[in-house]
Amino acid sequence: MLETVTVAGLPPILTVSVSMSVEEAVRTATLNVVPAGLGVPVSVGQPVVLLAGSTTVLTGYVRDVNPSHDAETRALSVALVSRTVDATECSVLHPTGEVRDKSIADIAREFDGLGIGVEDDGGLPTEPVHRLRVGESQFHTIERRARGRGILIHDTAEGKLKLATRPAGTHAGGLVRGRNIKRAAATFSERGRHSKVHVRGQASEGVDAQQMRGQAVATDRGVSRERPLVLQHEGEATTERMKGRAEWRAKRAAGNAATAEVTVMGWRDDGGIIWTPNYLVHVQDDWVGINGMMLIKSVTLEQEGNDGDGTTATLSLADPRGYGGENPRGHSADAYTAPGNIKATWEQE
């Protein structure tokens, strides 16, 4: 299970930890490398590609360099970030600051003056008009649009932004207690869940009640008592967009109410694919009461030492329906009050 981890231009790697998430636009890595010779053989801002064998895990830059020593020993730690860090930290320079009649992905491409790259899984809604706010970054300007559209923004191993509306695939083999699960913990909670989510807004055209005082309402029947939540819709308030916003908020909250953290030996599934955020995986662990498909929210890959015993992956998991996925179709514990088929309705305030 030992991975051969290399970064061209850096000294040999002693330990490595890589963190990536479907809810984060920038993956990161921390390396302890072998210091040798005089000076520091690594530069801040240096382009890097971190490989596990021949598989690309991170494409980006050296973020921080930390040399240290005592009377007898030396140490050198290096932090890496994805290329997408510039999409989150740098302001967009655009001749007009306005884009009309394009999807959120195409808006992101329009504002990609740094050449970071944008991928999407298709079918994204068209925005009538999007205006850049002064000083806004590429990520933050599309994130405020994506927030109510059921769109996740994360990075890829190649250092591009990815706009996703559904899980990207399914890992082979699954996670099974007694076979490949080293340790596991689950949390079943009502935190963040509401019996009804009301989304209110106004359209820019029209004076009827539907345009002026309409609201979308999504009901989570897994909440046993009255717990209302009212949200203001971001952007143009059409009926379908407000209904989508209400459904997305209710599903995300319900999905995050059933979570687990599982640590396995090695970085790869049974098919040899590195564990990846926004992928589905079947979990079978009766000790924590989960038996069904779950979505990988985040992954931490770690390796210490020269043998496979120190090579682990820690997966943060959630109900896939909270991230655009389908019914897990399992037989989990009663404490796992997964959401039903949440559909928003339209009504007057």
pLDDT in tens, 181-238: 999 999 888 888 898 889 988 665 544 545 556 789 988 888 889 999 998 876 667 7
pLDDT of residue 207: 47
For residue 190, what pLDDT is reported?
83
Mean pLDDT, the chain cut into blocks of 10 residues (349 residues total)? 94 97 96 91 96 98 97 95 98 96 96 98 89 97 85 96 94 96 91 88 57 77 89 76 81 81 96 97 93 95 84 94 66 49 63
Contact 237, 203 (CB under 8 A): yes
Answer yes or no: do 273 and 149 share one domain.
no
Residues 183 and 67 in one domain: no
Q: What is the pLDDT of residue 101?
A: 95
Single out the residue of 303, 291, 301, 297 nearest to residue 269, CA to CA.
301
- Could you tell me if 223 and 314 lie in one domain? yes
Structural element, H or E, at residue 284: strand 279-285
pLDDT value, residue 239? 81
Same-domain check for residues 252 and 324: yes
What single DSSP character describes residue 148? T
Read off the pLDDT of residues 104-144 as tens digits, 9 standing for 90 and up.
999 999 999 999 999 999 888 888 999 999 999 999 999 99
Q: How far is CA 295 from CA 64, 66, 175, 222, 322, in A?
A: 32, 35, 12, 20, 9
Residues 24 and 106 occupy one common structural domain: no
Looking at the structure of the chain, the number of domains it has is 3
pLDDT at 243: 84
Same domain, 183 and 308: yes
Same domain, 209 and 263: yes
The C-alpha R_g of the chain, in whole angstroms, comes to 23
pLDDT of residue 326: 66
Cα gap 40→61, rounded to integer Å: 16
Q: What is the pLDDT of residue 333?
A: 46
Whether 260 and 345 share a structural domain:
yes
If asked whether residues 155 and 34 sit together in one domain, one would say no
Q: Which domain holds residue 95?
A: 87-164
Task: Supply the CATH number for residue 45's domain.
Answer: 2.30.300.10
Q: Are residues 222 and 120 in the same domain?
A: no
How far apart are alpha carbons 344 and 318 in whole angstroms?
22
Distances (CA, A) of 144 to 108, 176, 262: 12, 38, 31
Query: What is the pLDDT, as a whole number, of residue 348?
Result: 55
Q: 305-320 in b/e burial notation, b at 16+ Cβ within 10 A? A: eeeeeebbbbbbbbbb
Total-model pTM:
0.84
Q: Do 294 and 181 fall into the same domain?
A: yes
* pLDDT for 123: 82
